[in-house]
Amino acid sequence: MMRLRAISEAERERVADFVWKWRYKLSRRGNQDFPVRATELLRRDDDSDATATASMTAAKEGRGKALWMTEAMVKTMYEGRQSSPPYYDWVDYPPRQEFRSGETAVKVYKVRDRDGPLVQGRFSLKYHRMEVLNPLLIQALRPLLFREGVFLPDGQQQQEEEEEVVAVFREPFRPLWFCRRDVVELSRGAEASLEILLLSFSRLLDEVFADLVVRVRGLQTEGVVDFGAVWTLFPRGCAVWTGELDTDVACRVKSSHYVRNGRVTELSLKTEVLVFDGEAFVWRVKWLVIGEYSGCRPVASLPHFPLCYHADADVVSERLLSRGKRMLDLQTVAYRLYHGHGFQAQGEEIERLPIRGRIMIDVVGYNAQHVPCRRCQDWTTTTTTTTTHATANEPLYPFLASRRSSPSSFDSDAVSLDTDPSSLAVSAECLLPCHRGRKTRLSKAQQEKNKREMLTREMDLLFLSALVGGFALDDGVWGVFRNSVKLWLASLTDKTVQFRVDNIKPMVWKETAFSQLLYDEQQKDLLLSLVEKHGREEEEEDDDDGNNNNNNNSGLLLVLLSGPSGTGKTLTAQAVTEQARVPLVKMKANELQSKLQRTLHLASSWKAAVLIDDSSSSSVLSSSDMLIHELASFHGTVFVASRLDGSAMDANLLSRAHLHLVFPLLDRGKRETLWRLLLDRHHHHQQRHVSKRLSRWRLDARQISVAAAAATEWAAARGETVSLERVECAVRTTSPFATREEEEEEEEEEEEEEEA
């Protein structure tokens, strides 16, 4: 019986197609694919009757081939039933078209619910697609859906132009869910004809969301939700909490949709955060994913959930607002301390790096160094960035989808499902602030303007990212510093690091280091005076671009520090700049050819001194010409520390040096003073004979510092005081090849008396 029924249906289809083919051909006979001859074209051009008559006579007397060549025939072919792309069965009649009735306001499509139970071999049905055809209904829904980020075409305008308007919505009908109650409110004050349409549409929505309402009821009573209804937690504009890398981050929801990742379904949340790109605070897209789970889960146990469901929502909000206000003061160059972990991306993994020391916050410099420049329009189009002047209700993605056999239609899910995210917004990998082609820093007036505008949008400070670009001066790597929160992504360079902003602290200058320098006091004072002169910031207003160009040849202070390793050259540069309160940028001598020009440019922008350390014959001598050339246009202080003596150094470099400090090996008296300073620094006040006895070890300053630190940590771990035996054991362990001077009898007697 089933076989006969199947044959009957197949025959019925063939008969229907046969009837439709000849009905189409007979009804279109005489006006379809009708040839337009050259004689008719001549007649349309207002030619004289004599010319037209002569042309017609010539055409009639011509041969068949000549007559065919004067015809402009258009033949349309259609895809047949036996087609299998890319192989097509072409026919000369179109397929049967759907009959459209002007009386249909809404069209609903149902499909089998394959996720539901199968009872006696039958599936239940679920709503799959909805099409709104009535222009009045579309015009009424337009402002409601506008708030959900859905831009519908103007139904009234399309109706006047006699074009058919179709608004398409797909499962799970996200924009309709969040505005379903507004439809009821809108129907109460509408005209009679529109009221009927809105009430009918509202009853349809109640039927569509009947099962979903029951599932969401548990969310309202017990705070739990299943994976199929979790998207109802995230209306447009909702503040979402996410705890990436054990920190509090708030994002603003734009849209959500389910995506299939292999055999697993995930909920993809399209959110946005505010970042500072060096010029303004702009919105950047951030994607959050909630993996599939079975049963119901508490909302607060999800990796990302609305901020209002947080147990300490008020406390977290205050913390985020406080962080956002601090970020408003980091729009320019800032010298800070950092102590904590940095985060570096290694593929899909995130590596934790211990970072301790000085950092320089500089978004413009960071972007210029490490963020690759995209096409200018990628950063300036209104769809990718929203400046501080943008409103919260501004839709980002006006989009009209095409529909077969429909002159005008709109698909509410087309933006999130069918549109390439890269054409609408910056991808998740480009979350870091971009420079948008800007190479100058903001002036104080521009910074204050941005700050005032952001303070008027206090709620947006919740979403202000803690990402701040900068440079770890003690580690020599660029990074993104977290100001009161941890960072989530790494940037695109090999050494880019991200830091917790909670760990960014104000700068504390170590002014005691200069007084402890073991060098001639007058030479120390001379060096400090010159460095203070060059490091003192001039009190003058920034220009419009906020860029201070200091390209004065007379503004260079070149200081040579020569002597064996471990004699205090690097320490001298550090102590002098600390006393002068000038930032110090370090670089290795073997990096001159690759990083000198960039380092000098940054140091000039930061009003910082530069230390070229560990300069040997193979590095400085080979790059001396380039070094002199680059220093000619630098304004500031440059220290060049070399292990070579004066006779072996480059003559051109010596002739251009303003100061040349020579550091000989430490004698016994200086070693004794250094031992006493280091032990007293750790609150281990020893008798004089201890430092005097330790000074007999032939060690340089670096070796003494390492041994003192090792002995101090050893004693602290055991809960004991630092003794002479412990320090000498540390010396033998850290410097096993060190020798000791022989004791004299008089010294032995003095030590015995001091011990007694």
- Looking at residue 740, what DSSP letter applies? B
- Looking at residue 503, what DSSP letter applies? G
640, 564: one domain: yes
Considering 505, 529, 551, which residue would you say is the last residue of a domain?
Answer: 505
| pTM of this structure | 0.67
Distance separating alpha carbons of residues 604 and 355, to the nearest angstrom: 25
User: Taking residues 118-140, what's their average pLDDT?
Assistant: 83
491, 579: one domain: no
pLDDT band at residue 509, thresholds of 50, 70 and 90?
confident
- Mind listing the pLDDT tens digit for each residue in 225-250? 888 889 999 999 999 998 877 778 89
- Mind listing the pLDDT tens digit for each residue in 265-322? 899 999 999 988 888 899 999 999 999 898 888 988 999 999 998 989 999 999 999 8
Q: Residue 484 in contact with residue 323, Cβ under 8 Å?
A: yes
Distance separating alpha carbons of residues 358 and 336, to the nearest angstrom: 6
Does 223 have pLDDT greater than 60?
yes
User: Residue 144 domain-assigned?
Assistant: yes
Q: How many domains does the chain have?
A: 5
- 497-499 vs 296-298, strand pairing mode: unpaired
Encoded amino acid at 645, one letter: D
Distance separating alpha carbons of residues 241 and 463, to the nearest angstrom: 10
Encoded amino acid at 6, one letter: A
User: Residue 90 domain-assigned?
Assistant: no
440, 298: one domain: no
- Looking at residue 189, what DSSP letter applies? T
Distance separating alpha carbons of residues 637 and 668, to the nearest angstrom: 32
Residue entry with tokens 């260079």: 556
365, 476: one domain: yes
Q: Residue 433 in contact with residue 275, Cβ under 8 Å?
A: yes
**SS3 letters across 702-722:** HHHHHHHHHHHHHHHHHCCCC
Compute φ and ψ for 561, nearest 5 degrees: -120, 110
C-alpha angle with apex 385: 381 to 388, nearest 5 degrees?
120
More confident residue, 605 or 66: 605
- Looking at residue 417, what DSSP letter applies? I
The residue range of the domain holding 477 is: 334-384+431-505
User: Taking residues 22-45, what's their average pLDDT?
Assistant: 54
492, 551: one domain: no
- Mind listing the pLDDT tens digit for each residue in 446-498? 889 999 999 998 889 999 887 787 788 876 666 665 543 333 333 323 344 66
Cis peptide before 86 (omega within 30 of 0): yes
User: Taking residues 553-563, what's their average pLDDT?
Assistant: 80
Please, what is the angle between helix 592-606 and helix 363-370, to 10°? 160
Cis peptide before 95 (omega within 30 of 0): no
User: Residue 2 domain-assigned?
Assistant: no
651, 686: one domain: no
Q: How many Cα atoms occupy the beta-carbon half-sphere of 473 within 13 Å?
A: 25
Query: How many helices, marked H, and strands, marked E, lie in the chain?
Result: 25, 28
193, 124: one domain: yes
User: Residue 443 domain-assigned?
Assistant: yes
Q: Which H or E run includes 59?
A: helix 49-61
User: Taking residues 737-741, what's their average pLDDT?
Assistant: 82
User: Residue 400 domain-assigned?
Assistant: no
User: Taking residues 168-189, what's their average pLDDT?
Assistant: 88
- Mind listing the pLDDT tens digit for each residue in 330-357? 888 888 888 877 766 566 666 777 788 8
Compute φ and ψ for 729, nearest 5 degrees: -65, -40
Q: Residue 637 in contact with residue 609, Cβ under 8 Å?
A: yes
User: Residue 114 domain-assigned?
Assistant: yes
pLDDT at 251: 93
Which value, in Å, is the radius of gyration of the alpha carbons in the chain? 39
pLDDT at 34: 44
Q: What is the CATH number of the domain that holds 522?
A: 3.40.50.300
User: Residue 22 domain-assigned?
Assistant: no
487, 368: one domain: yes
Contacts 24+ apart (CB under 8 A), 706-712: 706/734, 706/735, 707/731, 707/734, 707/735, 708/675, 708/678, 708/679, 708/682, 709/678, 710/734, 712/679, 712/682, 712/684
Considering 278, 297, 327, which residue would you say is the last residue of a domain?
Answer: 327
199, 170: one domain: yes
235, 175: one domain: no
312, 242: one domain: yes
pLDDT band at residue 705, thresholds of 50, 70 and 90?
confident
Q: Which H or E run includes 64?
A: helix 64-69
Instruction: State the chain's mean pLDDT as an integer.
Output: 73
311, 343: one domain: no
Distance separating alpha carbons of residues 499 and 487, to the nearest angstrom: 6
Considering 481, 505, 529, which residue would you say is the last residue of a domain?
Answer: 505
More confident residue, 251 or 537: 251
User: Residue 23 domain-assigned?
Assistant: no
Does 438 have pLDDT greater than 80?
no
Distance separating alpha carbons of residues 671 and 666, to the nearest angstrom: 6
pLDDT at 234: 92
Does 47 have pLDDT greater than 70?
no
pLDDT at 489: 32
- 556-562 vs 659-662, strand pairing mode: parallel
Encoded amino acid at 253, one letter: V
